[in-house]
Amino acid sequence: MSDFDITSKEIDGMAPHGTKVGLLRVLGPAHVWALGVGIVLVGEYMGWNFAVGKGGAFAALIACWFAGLLYTCVAMIDSEVTSTVAAAGGQYTQAKHIVGPLMAFNVGLYLVFAYTMLEAANAITVGFLIDTVAVMSGHEGLDQRPFIVLAIMFLAWLNYRGVLATLTFSLVITAIAFSAIIILFLATSPVFGGDVLRHEALMTDLPYGWLGVLAAMHFGLWYYLGIEGTTQAAEEVRSPARALPFGTLAGIMTLLIAATLTWYVCVGLMPWEYLGQAGVPLFDAARMSGSTGLMVLLGIGTLFATLASANGCINDASRAWFAMGRDHYLPSWFGAVHPVYRTPYRSIIFLVPIALIFALGAPLDQVITFSILSGLLEYTFMPINVILFRRKWPLHAIKRGYEHPFHPIPAIVLLSLCGVAYFAVFLGYGTQLVAMIAFYITVSLWFHFWRYRFVRRAAQFTMPWPRPQGY
């Protein structure tokens, strides 16, 4: 029998800092699913196909499945820890309670940059899609920038106004975008009478050999990057212990299916050399199917997927920034909740110009790489996190809402796959990898020797847990 039961309705982590105004607890498992899948589904609509360019069509499929294994480990580990740490900030709050303040500060920054860069990538894709449609309708030379700015500003406003409306909006448009992929598959698959896929003629050997398969892991992560964002809603779901594991695990299953279907349809319709550099591959696939209806549907699907993703990214990045402000890891001004809308409004507004700077000033593959690198650093933290969690609070010490099986195998597999992904990034983007880690080392020293003096010590530990073993 556990001494502490986080699944009890009496211990809900609400307003854990004694604030009078907390975030609203209004979300259910479907919203958690929509938050996770909504952020990630855009990865099927753009970006994943760069893995085809890195290693060929078969390499992208292998990368898709190995990245799927990596994210399955992420979802399992995350579901256990987050079903226990039910507070805003997700992995940031986990790190604060399990590893230590400096790790938490770094994890908070990983989250903010992974999501803000993903948001920027989404806005770039919105601009590119609208430009593609304009060219198809005979209007060359469209300025994409107003559409990029408009997309980010509109979604930031939606987030400012309230979490329930925001995630309900995400739920609807994510469901439509996911349905569009299924319809495209059904309409083109020979199983259902379609006659447009040409896998036997379009598939080639591995153009770079097995080194290309390793390199493809870099963008293979893009199929699923962001699913771990479900934990950011921990303080706003009605039943964290049930809704978070259910929504997260259902989300990764949805994405595994969507990723495989996307690969299957696209490589059967386009030469790999084109697919590997396409800006909107699913939209292109619909164009190649010869059906105007499918083309319109996948155009709408691409637009909705990018908006849902950017919407979820604003939600998650602002929660992480808010949580760090509330703990004084960042200026406490960011830790404010809007008195009417009950949202972290200052954090939402503050991150808008950062997203705009990168959306308007950096190429898509670079922005995606920044996001992937921050995500990769976060996934490397997760095995350390869960091993320390089990060591400091064994299963009998705290009751979990979900206990992941086969511990520590998922942690070891995750760490190994992260090693492969680092090598994949190194093969093409080593300079950015080193530059980003140099940034995190510098900012860590800044935090440890300067910023941490403003942080209360005991107040950081807000969970109703017993003393960790060994301390």
Element (H, E) at 398: strand 398-399
What tokens were used for 230? 């479900």
Contact between 366 and another protein by CB under 8 A: the answer reads yes
Residues 239-278 that bind another protein (CB under 8 A): 269-271, 273-274, 277
Residues 48-107 that bind another protein (CB under 8 A): 53-54, 99-104, 106
Nearer to another protein, 406 or 446 (CB): 446
Residues 452-471 that bind another protein (CB under 8 A): 452-458, 460-461, 467-468, 471
Q: CA-CA distances (angstroms) from residue 206 to 210, 215, 270, 307, 422?
A: 7, 12, 16, 34, 21
Cβ proximity of 344 and 321 under 8 Å:
yes
Query: Closest approach of Cβ 131 to another protein, in Å?
Result: 15
What tokens were used for 83? 């079903």
Contact between 210 and another protein by CB under 8 A: the answer reads no
Sequence-separated (6 or more) residues with CB below 8 Å from residue 252: 36, 68, 71, 72, 74, 75, 224, 227
Given 246, 322, 370, 402, the residue binding another protein (CB under 8 A): 370
Contact between 437 and another protein by CB under 8 A: the answer reads yes
What tokens were used for 394? 């064994």
Stretch that binds another protein, among 166-174, 227-235, 257-265, 282-290 (CB under 8 A): 282-290
Closest residue by Cα to residue 112 from 366, 348, 359, 445: 348
Contact between 139 and another protein by CB under 8 A: the answer reads no
Query: Closest approach of Cβ 213 to another protein, in Å?
Result: 11
Strands (E), 1-118: 4-5
Contact between 426 and another protein by CB under 8 A: the answer reads yes
Given 333, 391, 409, 416, the residue binding another protein (CB under 8 A): 333
Nearer to another protein, 30 or 433 (CB): 433
Q: Is 27 helix (H, G, I), strand (E, B) or coil?
A: strand
Nearer to another protein, 113 or 304 (CB): 113
Cβ proximity of 315 and 322 under 8 Å:
no
Contact between 193 and another protein by CB under 8 A: the answer reads no
Query: Closest approach of Cβ 233 to another protein, in Å?
Result: 25
Residues 2-31 that bind another protein (CB under 8 A): none
- Give the Cα separation of 73 and 380 in Å (integer): 11
Residues 381-420 that bind another protein (CB under 8 A): 384
